[in-house]
Each structure stands twice: as structure tokens, then as C-alpha cells.
Amino acid sequence: MSIGRPLANYAAFRRVGDWVFASGVIAVDPSAGVVVTGYGQLPAAARQQLQTLGYDTGQLSVDVFEAPAVAQSWFVLDRISAIAQENGGSLDHVVRLVQYLRDLRHYPAYNRVRGLFFPQPVVSTVVEVSRMLPSDEVLVEVEATFYLGR
Amino acid sequence: MSIGRPLANYAAFRRVGDWVFASGVIAVDPSAGVVVTGYGQLPAAARQQLQTLGYDTGQLSVDVFEAPAVAQSWFVLDRISAIAQENGGSLDHVVRLVQYLRDLRHYPAYNRVRGLFFPQPVVSTVVEVSRMLPSDEVLVEVEATFYLGR
Amino acid sequence: MSIGRPLANYAAFRRVGDWVFASGVIAVDPSAGVVVTGYGQLPAAARQQLQTLGYDTGQLSVDVFEAPAVAQSWFVLDRISAIAQENGGSLDHVVRLVQYLRDLRHYPAYNRVRGLFFPQPVVSTVVEVSRMLPSDEVLVEVEATFYLGR
Amino acid sequence: MSIGRPLANYAAFRRVGDWVFASGVIAVDPSAGVVVTGYGQLPAAARQQLQTLGYDTGQLSVDVFEAPAVAQSWFVLDRISAIAQENGGSLDHVVRLVQYLRDLRHYPAYNRVRGLFFPQPVVSTVVEVSRMLPSDEVLVEVEATFYLGR
Amino acid sequence: MSIGRPLANYAAFRRVGDWVFASGVIAVDPSAGVVVTGYGQLPAAARQQLQTLGYDTGQLSVDVFEAPAVAQSWFVLDRISAIAQENGGSLDHVVRLVQYLRDLRHYPAYNRVRGLFFPQPVVSTVVEVSRMLPSDEVLVEVEATFYLGR
Amino acid sequence: MSIGRPLANYAAFRRVGDWVFASGVIAVDPSAGVVVTGYGQLPAAARQQLQTLGYDTGQLSVDVFEAPAVAQSWFVLDRISAIAQENGGSLDHVVRLVQYLRDLRHYPAYNRVRGLFFPQPVVSTVVEVSRMLPSDEVLVEVEATFYLGR
Amino acid sequence: MSIGRPLANYAAFRRVGDWVFASGVIAVDPSAGVVVTGYGQLPAAARQQLQTLGYDTGQLSVDVFEAPAVAQSWFVLDRISAIAQENGGSLDHVVRLVQYLRDLRHYPAYNRVRGLFFPQPVVSTVVEVSRMLPSDEVLVEVEATFYLGR
Amino acid sequence: MSIGRPLANYAAFRRVGDWVFASGVIAVDPSAGVVVTGYGQLPAAARQQLQTLGYDTGQLSVDVFEAPAVAQSWFVLDRISAIAQENGGSLDHVVRLVQYLRDLRHYPAYNRVRGLFFPQPVVSTVVEVSRMLPSDEVLVEVEATFYLGR
Amino acid sequence: MSIGRPLANYAAFRRVGDWVFASGVIAVDPSAGVVVTGYGQLPAAARQQLQTLGYDTGQLSVDVFEAPAVAQSWFVLDRISAIAQENGGSLDHVVRLVQYLRDLRHYPAYNRVRGLFFPQPVVSTVVEVSRMLPSDEVLVEVEATFYLGR
Amino acid sequence: MSIGRPLANYAAFRRVGDWVFASGVIAVDPSAGVVVTGYGQLPAAARQQLQTLGYDTGQLSVDVFEAPAVAQSWFVLDRISAIAQENGGSLDHVVRLVQYLRDLRHYPAYNRVRGLFFPQPVVSTVVEVSRMLPSDEVLVEVEATFYLGR
Amino acid sequence: MSIGRPLANYAAFRRVGDWVFASGVIAVDPSAGVVVTGYGQLPAAARQQLQTLGYDTGQLSVDVFEAPAVAQSWFVLDRISAIAQENGGSLDHVVRLVQYLRDLRHYPAYNRVRGLFFPQPVVSTVVEVSRMLPSDEVLVEVEATFYLGR
Amino acid sequence: MSIGRPLANYAAFRRVGDWVFASGVIAVDPSAGVVVTGYGQLPAAARQQLQTLGYDTGQLSVDVFEAPAVAQSWFVLDRISAIAQENGGSLDHVVRLVQYLRDLRHYPAYNRVRGLFFPQPVVSTVVEVSRMLPSDEVLVEVEATFYLGR
């Protein structure tokens, strides 16, 4: 068994044989310790991907409503991809995602962004919950389970 | 690994060896694309079963309050049974259910219906969440994990 | 496969090979059938542990706000430890915790109490949900998965 | 004219010739002065009757939602039966019931319990009101009119 | 004593000598089992009557606000008239109406429609209640007492 | 049959043989057309009676909370007494009161005032409703039934 | 260019060639400085017109709900007619009305009153807004644009 | 001056010389008299246009949140285009749009759809209002002014 | 026709002959892209003007309540003045202002600031709306129409 | 300087020369540690006093609304009297009371009870606050200052 | 010790040596017994003072929002000044003010008015409370302590 | 008499002989003019003290809930200590604290921090109020009275 990078007093993931169990991932930039709420907190390549979906328009009155959920969706799924890679796998090895949203009206945005990471259908559960850690700004939390075996 | 029937862009389930991970199931009739809200959307055999529990009374003022949760409970658990069968198993192979309800006052009804499907106790987590996809009419969502091995 | 102690119509846990899947645990004293809401419902040793964290102060105006969440946190995690032991394991064998809170403002208390049980980081997902069974007094529910192998 | 047993400053009923007018009845145990909220406050025979309807299950998470309305329904209708008997009649002599509920979602339960007392249809008005005396725990109040003549 | 037409498990009315006690009447079309919410569910003659009051304008933005309460008022009072006739009487024999409305702002409409049925003043109690059976669409319920003597 | 004084398009009461059915009475001064909200709208003798109960204190901060419900209670019950007298009876002939309150916290005041009019227990139903006609200022409505026979 | 009668620090209207732009008109009696809330604040001729529509019934429980919106509608449209006349025109010269209501349930009443002033269809926008100046009593505000040219 | 097609008792537009003033347009299909809430109520060409923006995905859980605002936006702007054409002009002749939304979170969708109709910037005011006629389903209302000169 | 400075995809104004139609103006600093919420975002001359009205006091507990609405009022009206000047006119050429406020309690402040810009009465409509673009911080939006002709 | 009896970590009072400053007093029985909510928690003599005011009626539906505030008022003022006596004074030495109520509708009851303790007027401030320690059951808190000098 | 003018059953102030403790002062005109809500209830000199601050504008839409808090602030502080003078002192002898506001958004107005009475800084505590006696119209209550000694 | 440091237009304290009356203190850093909301705004020594209580954990999900109230509590009590020292005294000279909290759930934290400053019990009143100056971020306000005499 190996233990993932501890952030505070929880483990990012735990590996048991070919299985990897990840903690729920939210969009907090670990270096700055702040919740991601805008496109400016994403790398340039991410922004280009999101623009192909029609997001990150540069128009204030549009982005103000879409940016938090879109940017968090990208950040969270990118982090799950990184966990897979740390364990020698990829997103193909995801066997289930449990996705918690603060407002299901953000689902269309989350769903489009997820399509960038998962071109194939994925086993998915989605529910709207009241709040997530560490603050009300968090809109998306995703818990992933991986099987790295053949 | 085999992939279950994709509905939209998620997979109904994913099989990994003897394990099957199912997506959260809700009571949407896949052909009609509408949420189940009444007894009339269930097969006749289901209605007879529910009548043994005292539901599906035919009295408008009774059924109006009970039908949505009761009918969805039956539909969802029946679908989980179908997933087990598609994989050559049965509900005996369920190792855990996570059950999301929009209003825990529906739990007594759900619990009675579950007794029709699971005569033996099952590992179960139940929480009330704010909402589920695709609409406010959804009252029950169940996520199942199966182990088909010996 | 072995089946854990049934409480009502669900199983406390289900063992599949080296894996144990537990139902969500809440702080209901099984003998009395009442939700734990105060320090007086805990054993003396638990109270001494909690006092080392600064809880269980004996001051009414302090304990009235902290006791329900603190006492439930201890009770729930102690019960999860007992499930591990019933299966010949310990909390070291937990591979994931999903933790449902009714109010995330209780997280700091829960987190301190968890530190008593888990000196090492644990894979953890935390969300705030609307309610849990069997009543509004329940503030914490924890679902655990164990791997007892190696 | 005869006057029924006064509880506090109102009369339980008033008889005028063959007519009996009863005050609204709620489920307060007159000896203990507390509102009925659980099955444990009912006589054993009542509980057996309710179990034939599928209530009084002994499962905490089910009974917690159903017990208050079911137990009050039985208690209230039993008291109305007693008023009829005090006047030399039976529930066959009821000519009208006005039924006040705090939450119409309790109607299905009330309706099933009423079926135990009134196998024949009865003249009935049902409305949901904001509150009843003496406290928010009261869920059902029933006002009966009897005609004892032929 | 005669018993009126049973709808579900209650009696529409009960006759005791010259007295008739009716159950609360709401605007549910007994054949279709749906609540009346528009002018289209009324007979042509009713619509002509309502047009003399300025209702049933054919303008969508006007009717959308007025139709449910106006149509239900007509339907309910027409049904009470039918009960009188079944017993060999007429609305002249009504000795009291108890009228429950979900929103007293509908009273002006109800009052105008009642004028079509009761050209003479009638003994009347009106209160606003929270809800009525079988659903939130019900805006008006009327309970009538008749004396057919004299 | 005789018809009571019509106020607007309803009858204050209707007499049928020895029976009198009254409409719900609220505290509107018929001459001024305004709802009673203070002690100043009552006759001097009423105020003296209320002072024996400790009401009508002359202290602004006390009366502001109590005056509306107390004064309306007196006004309404006095009007019911007048209806009895118009029919050659008295409050002894009341066989049932149905009492609607906008806020049950006004019940203690209403109950004390009723004691002034009804020294003997009376058949009584009390429920809290959302609103009454003609305005939100109305806190109490009482519907009485009288039997004037021996 | 001419400037209309200033009330406080705004102009009632401004004329530019054949065009007249009016400020939003609300039903405040300029001499008394109070918002119109009842029929008694209208001239006798207005009341006769409104009675042809079935309003101004003289029944307290009806008028209390309808009078404020009906009377304000008449007042506001009459004032707009006056502005047209001050500029040598009539309501035929209105090219657009923007109508703000505090509650769209008042639209049917407003619409009937407008029919008295505009027998022909008029270009019209209607929205419900949160509040208007100078107080919560204002239910209708209408902004008119006129073209007085041929 | 010419008068546009009257729908009920208002005019769709009024022409004054080179100016056209339109009433606020909402997405009600005039033939069916129902509010547009889904893509199925739009012509095929419209749906193809919307798909280029990433809307009308065919996925129930996505479309359920986006369809009402997107489809209404297209419908309303298409109708404004038709008004321009009826007067011999085009959308190039729009000099100002006033846009009322029930929820500004729909602005990003509206804005993208408007880009299909107005490739050039347009003079625009956008506010969120409480409600619009004829029902709560209306999410977008647009009032246009045109100058057809030069 | 000339087109004003486009900010995002709308035009600041459109000129048609002697007429100028401006988009609704809100207090967003175009360079920084942030909503004005304090005095520090205004030029020094503006602050001096506001101090003559008693605003911009330098006392934190006073300014915290007044600064957002006062500063936005100044910013918005200054921008409208600039639009007039860009077209060779001045605020004297304004023929109508439509003013949207998020809370009418800000009207006194807005009104005082407007007096700095418009010493003469102006044609004015004021309504309170739910929200404005791009965020909840926006308290004032003003739409102006100008006629630059003689 | 002397220090009063400490309850938890605050002092009941502090004496400075002839001055005594008391902590806010609430109705918690120090031995049992529970908030006073009924007459049964008061000594017999207190109940007799309260009955002279018309309270402690023995009628459940009356006392349920009045008992908590009345009993707390007596308890709190009695405790303040005891503090005076511990310091060799009486309630005559109170120079100011600051009284916090959770609901000012309890003021009439508090005021009558205070009259039992303070036959002379007392310097008094009364405000309604959101909550008090240690729980939502606390309805009254009184802070007293005494001067024991001549 | 001297006792101030009693209004109802509390004392306006109590003097103890050089100290004066005043009850909380609210703006109720003692002769009329009504809460001050407008400028018209103030003396002419007060209004002139307030006009120097820019209040009491004579514009209905401005004064309607500001008058209640401004007029109450003046009235309350003027009354505190009178208490000082009754005791041979002035506002210079105030050692502390505790100020309760129903809405802190009124603080800027209160603060400006206080500057008229206290040119020097004063020891001050300000909190927002839920309500004050005798009614919801009261927006400001001030409790003063004076030391008249050297 | 001496006057404390004025911040804005109030005095921090006023000394009268051996007495010092302080204004309510809130946690605003006077140099920066911002409310204290985190541990980072406290000196290092304060943070070490708070860590002995288990606060300032460095874990984002814990500190986010606790930091604002804990840090404000330290800041406010430290400032009160400074006022004592400015007057040649210490916290031993505090004779009364009135403590206003926005949410009593912060009391346990405040109470622990107060223990750092007051090892001995202190005369204390605690109430929850709606808001404090200058903003909603303020959670704690403390008003102190000192006696510096023997």
C-alpha cells in the first residue's frame, strides 16, 4: 500500500493493489490556498480548451456567471487525471465518479468540461448537496475510484 | 472489462473482474425520457406487489402523496436488479447501496419497497440531498456496487 | 461472505474476501434507540480524551453548542473501529471515508476528534447534506470501506 | 340537554335531543397531559391493529416519520367512538366529520387508520390548517356531529 | 337515512330526516380525476354565465390569473346545487356554507360567482387555509348544510 | 325560517325551527366599516370588564401587543350574544363554537375573554388559519350554532 | 421644447417637436401627497365607469382586495390622458406604454381599466418589478411616449 | 401610421413615419397559446443554429437546465426580426433593445443567441425583473425600437 | 448613423439624426473591469462635489453604508454626460432617463447626486428591479435618450 | 471589592464600594442546569403570586403559551432580589435594569410580573435580541446595577 | 436620590449622587402617545437644523425613506438633553451612550444628527437589535449615563 | 476627566475619577481600516496563545470556520487591556463586560479566548444581536467598564 500526498490531515489517495481510492477533490490551488473562481487561475492551455466550448469569452457579463463552475470543473478533473498518472494510470482507469454539485444548474457546464477529459462514457453519480469544504465558493467536488489492473 | 449501456454521456455500469460499479440510478423511463411519478407508469406486476404493501390504493387523495416516491422506489430497484442480471448476477451480489433521497419523509415508503427486492439486510447508506438530475421530480437515486464472485 | 450485525433491515457491514463495506454509521445508541446528543452518553474514557482537546468543559453555555457534534463524532468513529475489529482489523485498514455533515461548521470539531482515531492521514470526502436518518438530531454520518489484506 | 366531561373550560360534547355536538378532539392523554407522539402511548390492541396496516414496524428510521400522525389518528378516532358510546350510540351515528391536519402529507396515514373505525364511507371535510392547540406537536384534530335517532 | 354517492372512501352527503350534511366539495372532475383549472373544463352554459361577469375573456394574460379560481368556484357551487337536487331540494335549502380558500385574494372572484347561484344572502363563513386535498391546485372547498323541511 | 341582518351579500344568521345557524363573526364595526384593533373602539362597560382581567392597562407598551386580540374577542362574542337575543335566546343556547385564530398565541387572551361570556364550559373547536376576511388585521372569527328549544 | 409641471425635482414631461416623453406616472394625488388606495379618492364619474366593470362594489371584503390596483389604474391613465391634452393631443397619440406592476396578479384589473381609456390596441410592455417610488403602496407605474404629428 | 397585428388587446407595434415602436415580445406561440419551453417548439433551422453554439445537446440532464432560456431567446429575437421585415426593414434598423430577464444567470445563454441575430453590437439595456406576463415560465422579454430611415 | 464605443458585444449608444439612444449605463470602470463601490475609485473633483452634499465623510461606519450607491450614482451620470459630449451635446439634451435601482432606499442618495448634474428637472422614471449586470454589486443603472436638435 | 458566586467562568456580580454590578441573569436553575420553562419549576409561593395576575391557570392550552415567559420573568427577578440581599440591600437599590427579550410579545407578561417585585417605577431599557445563552429556550435576560449607598 | 418623570411603570431616570442613569429613550411623543415618524412632528427649529444637513427636503420620494430615522434621532437626543437639564447638567456630562438601531443602514443619518448635539466625541456603543418597544416603527433607542460632578 | 483616542466621531473611553467607561470595541485594525477576519492579522505572540487552545491549526478547512471569531475575540480583548493600561490599570479593574455576538455559536470560541485574558471570573452579559458596525463581518463587540480605585 502507498499513501498519496497528504494535504492537511487527509490523504489525497490510497492505493491497495491495483485499486486507488481518492479523496473528494475540490478546486483549491494548494500553493495559494484559495478556491479557484476564475479563468485567470487556470493555465493557458486549459483556457484554450474551454474556449473551444464557448467559455472564457472575455465578456464580463457572461464570464461572471459561468467562470466559477467552469474553471472549477476543469481544475478538479485535471487533478484527478494527475492522481491517475501518479499511480501509473490514466483517466481510462476510472471505474466510478461520484460528483457533488452545490447547484445542479452548473451541471451543463460541468458536463461539457468533463467531455474534454472523458471522451468515453464514465460511471457517474451526480447529486446536489448543501455545501462543501472549505467554503461556500466551492461548487464542484468529485470523488474517483480507479482500477489500474489490465 | 465491459461497459454498460450508455445513456447520454455516462455509462450505466462498469465491470472490473468480479466487481460491477453502477452509476446512480434514477427513475427515468429511458424510452419516454420522463420521470416516473405515478403508478400508471409501472408494469401491472409491480402494481400488484405494491398493493400488497397497501400502496396504489386508487384513492386520488391518498395516491397523490404516495405515488411519486413509491413508484420511483420500485423503478430504481428494478433497474438495479436488471444491471445485476445483465452481468450474470442477482441482487444477492449487491455489496453496498448508497441511497440519496430528496426528502427523508419518503424513507418509510422506500424502505417498504426495498423489502420486496431485498428480503435480507443490505449494506446501506441513506442521506437527504438537495436535488438530483434531471429535475426536481426525482425523489430517489441509488448507487449500487456488486461483487459477483463466489 | 459474512454479514454484520443487522440493525433493523440493513446490514452493518458486508465482507467480501479482504474487503469490508460498512453501512453509513450514525450515533444512535442501539440499546436505548436514541440519538447521542451529549457527553453524558459517552463512556468515561471517551470524555477524558475529549477533554484533552478542550471539549466537555462542564460549562453549560459552552457545551450546549459543542456537545452534540463532538459526542456524535466520537461515537461514530468508535463504532467504525469496532467494525474493523469484528473483522480482525483496525482503523489502519480503512481505505476511504465518506463523511456527511448536516452543517459544515461542525467540521472543525469532527476533524479534531478524528485525529484521536486516525493519527495518519486518511482518504476522505466531506459534504454537507440536508438531513440524515433517523432524525434532525443526527449531525454526522460516516461510511467506511476497509481492505484487510496485507 | 346533557354536558360531556369538561376538560379545562370547554365541554367535550353537548347533547340536544338526538343530536350530539362534540368539540374538536386532539390526541392529548388526559391523565398525563401530554400529546401522543408514539406507538408506545397506545394500548396493545391498537398497536396490533396498526400493524395490520403496515405501521408500528419497530424500525426506528421508519417509525420516526410515521408514528406521530398514525398514533394520533388512532387516538382521536378512538376518543370519538367513546363519545358515541357515552351517549348510547356508535360510530354509525356520525353524520359529519371535519378533519384538520397540520400537513396533508399525513392524510394517507390518517385515511388508513380511519378505515379501521369506519368501514362505511363517512361525510368528511379535510383541510390543512397552520396549527392547533395546545402545541405544534398536534397533527390531527377531528370535530364530529352525531345523530342518535333511528 | 340515505347515503350519497361515495367517491373513494367518503360519502358525498348524508341525509338525516330533513337535514342533509355534505362533505366538503372541491373542483375535481370525477370522471377524469383531475382538478379543474381552466374555463375549458366547464360546460358552455357556465362559460356564458361567467362572461356576463367579465371573466373568461379569451385573453391569455388575463385568464391565466383568474381562470383557476373562477372555474373552481363555478364547479363547486354547481355540484352543491346538484346535491340539493338529488335530495329533492334546491340551493334555497342551504342553511350554512363554510368556505375554505387557499388565498383570500380569490374571494372577490368567488363572491361574484356565488352571486350567480345565490341571489339571496346566505349564511357564510370564509377562512383561508394552507392546503386542501388532493393537491395544491385546489383553491376553493365548500361545505354545505341543507334543511329540506318547510 | 327567518333571515338575519344581511351585511353585504351574506346573511348574519338563518333560523330553522329551533335552530339558528350564524355566519362566522369577525370584529368589524358595521357603521364605520373598520376592523376593531383597540380598546377605544369598545363601549365603556366592556373596558371595565376587560380591566378585571388585567387588560386595557393604559400602558402603551403593554396594550400595543394585547389590545387587538382582546378587543376583537370581546367584540365578536358580544355580537354572538346579540344574535342569540335577536332570536329570543341567550348564550346558554349555543351548542357549538368553531373558533378560527390567525395566531394561537392569542388563545390565552381569547380564552379569558370568553370566560366573561360563558361561565359554563362550551363545545369548542379552535384552529389557527392563515387569514380571514376582510383583512390581515382580523385575528379572531367565531362561528356559532344555537338551539333555542328547551 | 416645453417642460411639463415639475413635481419635486423631475419634469412631468418634455416635448421635442411632435414628440412628448413623459416621466413614469404613479397614483399620487399631488395636492394631498398621498398614494391613491381606494375608490373614495376618485371622482364620481370614475367610480361609475369602474362599476360598469363590476368594481367598486361597496362590499368591504371584495373591495379591500381590488380597490388599490383598480383605483390606481384609473388614476394613472387619467393623468396620462391629461398630459396628452396639455400638449394638444389625446390618447390616440400614444405610441408606446411601458407598464410596471408590483404584482402581475393585478394585471387583469389594470387591463380592464385600460380598456376604458384605450378602446384600440396600444403598443404595450408589462413587467413586474420589486418596488416603485414613493412607497410600497404603489402598485402601477406607466411611462408613456406620444407622437402628436399627423 | 400603421398598426401591427393585435394579439389580444395590445398592438404588436406602431409605426410613426420611419420609426417603429414594438411591444415587449415574449416567447408565446400565438397559434398554440403556450409558452415556449423546449427545443422541440422551434423550427429545425433554429435548432441547427443553436447546436453550433453547443446547445440542444439531446442529453436530458443538460437540456433540462438550458432549453427554456435558450429556446425563448431564439423565439423572441426571431419575432423581432419578423416585425422589422413586416415594416420593410431588418435587424440593422434596431436602435435600442430593452431586455428583461427573470434570472440574470440566463444572460450568457441569451447573449450567445443574440449573437446569431446581431453580429454587430447593439444598444442594449438588461435588467432582471420579478415576473413577466403571462406566466412564471416566461424568462425573457425584449422591447425593440426601430428606425427605418436612411 | 454612428455607433458608440462598443464594450463587449453591445454598443454604448447609437445616433440617428439628432437622436441618440444610449444603452443602460452602470458603474463599471472599463479599464479595470470592476464595479465601482467606493469613493476611492472616483476622481478628486468628484469627491469634493460629493462632500458638499455631506457624503464621503471619511468615517468608516458612515461611508460603508453610503459609498456604493453614492459613488455609482456619480460615475453613471458622469458617463452619460460624456456620451452627450461625444455627440456634441450636453445633459441639457437628455429627453428621458429610465433609472433602475436595486433598492429604492438608495434613491435619496441618487437624487442628491443627480442634482449636481441636472440643476433643472428632468423626465424621469424610477423602478426597483431585482438585479443588474454584471453582478449583485451594481445598484444603479440609467438609460438615457438624447435629442440634440435645437 | 467582593466577588459573587461564580457560575462557570463568570462572576454573578462584583461589588465596588457602594456599587454592585451584576451579570445578566437568565432563568437557569443552577442545581439542575436546565432552563426554567414551566410553573412547576417555581416555588409554591411564586405560583400563588402569579395566579393573582391570572397566570398559572392549570389549563394546558393557556399555560403552554404563557408559562415559559412568565416563569422565567419571576425566576430572573427573584434572583436579582437575592443578589441585592446578598449585598445587604433590596430591590429599592436598583438604579437601572437592562432587559433583553427574545420576543417583545412577551413584554406584557414580563411587565406584570415585574410589578410584583417593583411597586415603584424603575429605570429600564428593553430591547428584543436574537438569542441568549445558553439556548433558544431563554426568553428573558436582565442586567441590574445597584447602588447601596444612602 | 431623585426619581424622574414616570411614563407608565418605569422611571425616566434615577439620580444617585452626581450620577444620573436614564432609561432607554425612544421617540414617542408623550402627549399624543404616537411614535414620531415624520418631520412634521418636530418643532420648527429642529427642522431648520436638519435642513442644514440636507434632510427634510420637501420631496416626497426622498423624505419617505429618510424622515423616520432622522426625525427619531433628533427627538431622542433632544429628550436626553432635556434629562441632563432637568438635573442641572448638559450633554457635556454624558459619559456613555448605548445606542440600539433596528437597521444599521440608519446609522449614517443618526450619526449626522448626533453631530448637532455632540460636537465633541462621545463614548458610544452601537448595535442592531430586532425590535424595540412599543412597536416596529421605533428605529432608534438611546440609553444615556451622566456624571454631573466636576 | 480625560478623553480617550477618538476614532472617527466617538471617543474610545471617558474617565471620570476612578471610573473609565469605554465605547464598544470591535476588531477593526485602526491603521488599515479593515475588519480582522484571520489569524494572519494578529501578532505572532497572539497566535502562539491561540494555538495552545487548539486554534490556528493551519488546516484551511478548519480555520475557515474558526478564524474570524477567534481572531476578533483576541483582538477585542487585547484592545480592552490596552485601554486599561492607558489609564494606569489592568484587566483586574474591569467591573463589567457587555458582550454582543452576531451568532452565539461563536460563544465557545470567545469564551476560551477570554480565559486567556481573564483567569478570574468576570461580570458578564452576553446577547446575540443582528448586526454591528461597520459591517457584517464583525462578530464580536465588547463594552467594558473599569474601576481603577483600590
Give the neighbours of chain I: at least 3 Cβ pairs within 8 Å: A, G, H, K, L
**Torsional class of I56: left (φ above 0), alpha (ψ -120 to 50), beta (otherwise):** left
Look at residue J8 in the predicted model and tell me its pLDDT.
58
Q: Minimal CA–CA distance to J39: which of B92, I90, G80, D33?
A: D33
- With 90 as the cut, is the pLDDT of residue H31 above it? no
Residues F48-85: pLDDT tens digits? 999 999 999 999 999 999 999 999 999 999 999 999 99
Whether G115 and H9 lie within 8 Å, measured CB to CB: yes
Mean pLDDT of K38-46: 97
Distance CA F16, CA J146 (A): 69
Mean pLDDT of K48-55: 98
All three cell numbers of I25, joined, read: 449605463
Residues B73-82: pLDDT tens digits? 999 999 999 9
Look at residue B31 in the predicted model and tell me its pLDDT.
74
All three cell numbers of G148, joined, read: 402628436
Cβ under 8 Å to H: E residues 28-67 = 58-62, 64
- With 90 as the cut, is the pLDDT of residue G8 above it? no
Under 8 Å between Cβ of H92 and H122: no
- With 90 as the cut, is the pLDDT of residue F33 above it? no
All three cell numbers of D84, joined, read: 358515541
Residues C26-84: pLDDT tens digits? 999 777 789 999 999 999 999 999 999 999 999 999 999 999 999 999 999 999 999 99
Give the neighbours of chain G: at least 3 Cβ pairs within 8 Å: E, F, H, I, K
Distance CA F94, CA F124 (A): 10
Chain H residue numbers with beta carbons less than 8 Å from the beta carbon of A59 are 111
Distance CA L69, CA L75 (A): 10
Q: Quick one: which H or E segment has residue K78? A: helix K60-86
F114 or A10, greater pLDDT? F114
Domains of chain F: 13-147 (3.30.1330.40)
Half-sphere exposure of E33 (CA within 13 A, CB side): 9
Give the neighbours of chain A: at least 3 Cβ pairs within 8 Å: B, C, H, I, L
A22 shares contact with chain C (CB less than 8 Å): yes
Whether L124 and J24 lie within 8 Å, measured CB to CB: yes
Q: Give the confidence band of A8 by pLDDT, cuts at 50, 70, 90.
A: low
Chain G residue numbers with beta carbons less than 8 Å from the beta carbon of H129 are 127-129
Task: For residue H134, say if its preceding peptide bond is cis, omega within 30 degrees of 0.
Answer: yes
Residues forming a β-bridge with J123: K11
Mean pLDDT of D51-70: 96
Q: In G40-135, which ranges are continuous DSSP H helix? A: 44-52, 60-86, 107-117
Residues A96-140: pLDDT tens digits? 999 999 999 999 999 999 999 999 999 999 999 999 999 999 999
Residues L11-40: pLDDT tens digits? 999 999 999 999 999 999 777 789 999 999
All three cell numbers of E92, joined, read: 334555497
Q: Give the confidence band of F4 by pLDDT, cuts at 50, 70, 90.
A: low
Under 8 Å between Cβ of H66 and H55: yes
Q: Minimal CA–CA distance to B122: which of C16, C13, C19?
A: C13
Nearest to B111 among C9, C11, C16 (CB): C9
- With 70 as the cut, is the pLDDT of residue H112 above it? yes
Report the SS3 class of residue J145: strand
- With 60 as the cut, is the pLDDT of residue I7 above it? no
- With 80 as the cut, is the pLDDT of residue A31 above it? no
Indicate the residue type of H103. D
- E strand residue ranges, J1-150: 2-3, 6-7, 10-11, 13-16, 19-22, 28-29, 34-35, 94-101, 122-128, 131-132, 140-147
Question: How many CB pairs lie under 8 A apart between chains D and E?
Answer: 67
Question: F touches L (3+ CB pairs < 8 Å)?
Answer: no
- With 60 as the cut, is the pLDDT of residue K4 above it? no
Look at residue E31 in the predicted model and tell me its pLDDT.
73
- With 50 as the cut, is the pLDDT of residue I110 above it? yes
CB atoms within 10 A of CB C32: 9
Report the SS3 class of residue G24: coil
- With 60 as the cut, is the pLDDT of residue B30 above it? yes
Distance CA J91, CA J83 (A): 9
The Cα of E62 is separated from the nearest Cα of chain H by a number of Å equal to: 8
Whether B121 and C13 lie within 8 Å, measured CB to CB: no
How large is the ipTM?
Answer: 0.93
D150 shares contact with chain E (CB less than 8 Å): yes
Under 8 Å between Cβ of F46 and F78: yes
Distance CA G108, CA F18 (A): 46
The Cα of G4 is separated from the nearest Cα of chain K by a number of Å equal to: 17
Q: Give the confidence band of G6 by pLDDT, cuts at 50, 70, 90.
A: very low
Q: In I9-121, which ranges are continuous DSSP H helix? A: 44-52, 60-86, 107-117
Look at residue C8 in the predicted model and tell me its pLDDT.
57
Look at residue B2 in the predicted model and tell me its pLDDT.
52
Whether K111 and I59 lie within 8 Å, measured CB to CB: yes
Distance CA J124, CA J137 (A): 23
Biggest CA-to-CA distance, chain I? 49
Residues L26-83: pLDDT tens digits? 999 777 789 999 999 999 999 999 999 999 999 999 999 999 999 999 999 999 999 9
All three cell numbers of B37, joined, read: 411519478
Look at residue J32 in the predicted model and tell me its pLDDT.
75
G7 shares contact with chain H (CB less than 8 Å): no
Mean pLDDT of C8-18: 90
Report the SS3 class of residue J58: coil
Look at residue F1 in the predicted model and tell me its pLDDT.
41
Under 8 Å between Cβ of F134 and F28: yes
CB atoms within 10 A of CB F148: 17
Look at residue H53 in the predicted model and tell me its pLDDT.
97
Residues H62-106: pLDDT tens digits? 999 999 999 999 999 999 999 999 999 999 999 999 999 999 999
C4 or I41, greater pLDDT? I41
Chain K residue numbers with beta carbons less than 8 Å from the beta carbon of G133 are 61, 64
Under 8 Å between Cβ of A102 and C97: no
Backbone phi, psi, residue A110, to 5°: -60, -40
Cβ under 8 Å to I: H residues 80-139 = 95-96, 98, 104, 107, 111, 114-115, 118, 120-130
Distance CA K131, CA K137 (A): 9
CA C41 to chain centre: 14
The Cα of K101 is separated from the nearest Cα of chain J by a number of Å equal to: 10
The Cα of L71 is separated from the nearest Cα of chain I by a number of Å equal to: 21
Distance CA B67, CA B37 (A): 7
Backbone phi, psi, residue A14, to 5°: -140, 130
Mean pLDDT of D86-97: 97
- With 70 as the cut, is the pLDDT of residue I2 above it? no
Distance CA B109, CA D105 (A): 13
Distance CA J100, CA J140 (A): 6
Give the neighbours of chain J: at least 3 Cβ pairs within 8 Å: C, D, F, K, L
**Residue-level pLDDT, tens digit, chain E, 150 residues:** 344 533 457 899 999 999 999 999 999 977 778 999 999 999 999 999 999 999 999 999 999 999 999 999 999 999 999 999 999 999 999 999 999 999 999 999 999 999 999 999 999 999 999 999 999 999 999 999 999 996
Residues I17-29: pLDDT tens digits? 999 999 999 999 7
Residues G12-52: pLDDT tens digits? 999 999 999 999 999 997 777 899 999 999 999 999 999 99
On the 0-12 / 13-18 / 19+ scale of CB atoms within 10 A, B49 is middle
Residue in the block written with cell 380591566: F51
Look at residue D10 in the predicted model and tell me its pLDDT.
85
Mean pLDDT of D10-36: 92
Look at residue I1 in the predicted model and tell me its pLDDT.
44
